[in-house]
Amino acid sequence: MNEVLRAIRERRSVRAFRPDPVEPEKVEAILEAGRWAPSGRNTQPWRFVLVESPEKRAALARLVPQRDMIATAPLTLAVLLDRRAGYDELKDAQGIGACAQNVLLAVHALGLGACWIGRARDREVEALLGAREGEELMMLIPIGYPAENPPPRERKPLSELVRRI
Ligand SMILES: Cc1cc2nc3c(=O)[nH]c(=O)nc-3n(C[C@H](O)[C@H](O)[C@H](O)COP(=O)(O)O)c2cc1C
């Protein structure tokens, strides 16, 4: 199978991580994948905050229900929407979604694991992240080497999803 298609099929949400750090070149490759996502009018409204220090990771873990995931992942990527860069609420959100999926696929392709945590517009977390004027939190993505190998979650069959006209 084509490697992109295989990555799409084999990616899983990983919620338990080994403590090993993520190599800087892999972090760079993950950010590059996010940067190359499509966006409406090519506005690229995403902004990234890497939460790496033990102090910030612990503080972030205290603010979210997914405490263990965030506390154990060596790295959490916060994706913010810069409203001043965007132009349309729905289209900006669509672009951010494409960016997050690029990140997840890159993570998987590099032998790492991650989980998309939808956590939009949380003022406390935004303050901890140092969000700037006009920036809103869209999701948190804890990243690390997997400490679990989750089975595939069920997907609806195409026969239920597709109509041909
Ligand atoms: C918008 C969005 C929000 C999500 N929020 C959470 C979350 O808060 N906590 C969590 O454990 N997983 C979260 N997930 C991951 C989904 O639960 C997961 O993608 C889904 O169950 C399918 O499993 P898979 O990713 O392993 O294929 C989220 C995924 C998306 C796309």
CB neighbourhood size of 40 (10 A): 17
Residues shown for the chain? 165
Mean pLDDT, the chain, integer:
97
| Distance from the alpha carbon of residue 49 to the mean position of ligand 1, in angstroms | 20
Q: 3-class SS at 37?
A: coil
Please give the full DSSP string across 5-29, using - where no structure is assigned: HHHHHH--B---B-SPPPPHHHHHH
Buried b (16+ CB within 10 A) or exposed e, 148-159: eeeeeeeeeeee
Tokens of 117: 């945590």
How does pLDDT run across 43-93, given as a tens digit for each residue? Answer: 999 999 999 999 999 999 999 999 999 999 999 999 999 999 999 999 999
| Distance from the alpha carbon of residue 119 to the mean position of ligand 1, in angstroms | 11
Domains of the chain: 3-148 (3.40.109.10)
pLDDT-based confidence at residue 120 (cuts at 50, 70, 90): confident
Instruction: Please identify, by atom number, the ligand 1 atom nearest to the C-alpha of residue 65.
Output: 8
| Distance from the alpha carbon of residue 108 to the mean position of ligand 1, in angstroms | 15
* Nearby residues of 37 by Cβ (< 8 Å), 6 or more positions away: 46, 95, 98, 99, 101, 102
| pLDDT at site 60 | 97
Protein residue whose Cα sits closest to atom 18 of ligand 1: 13
pLDDT-based confidence at residue 119 (cuts at 50, 70, 90): confident
Q: Tell me the pTM.
A: 0.98
| pLDDT at site 64 | 96
Protein residue whose Cα sits closest to atom 13 of ligand 1: 117
Helix axes 89-109, 24-35, angle to 10 degrees: 150
| Distance from the alpha carbon of residue 47 to the mean position of ligand 1, in angstroms | 21
| pLDDT at site 118 | 95
| Distance from the alpha carbon of residue 12 to the mean position of ligand 1, in angstroms | 9
pLDDT at 5 over 90: yes
| pLDDT at site 121 | 84
pLDDT at 126 over 90: yes
| pLDDT at site 73 | 98
Q: In the structure, which protein residues have their CB atom closer than 6 angstroms to any atom of ligand 1?
A: 12-13, 15, 66, 115-118, 150, 153
Strands 135-144 and 117-118, by their bridges, are: antiparallel
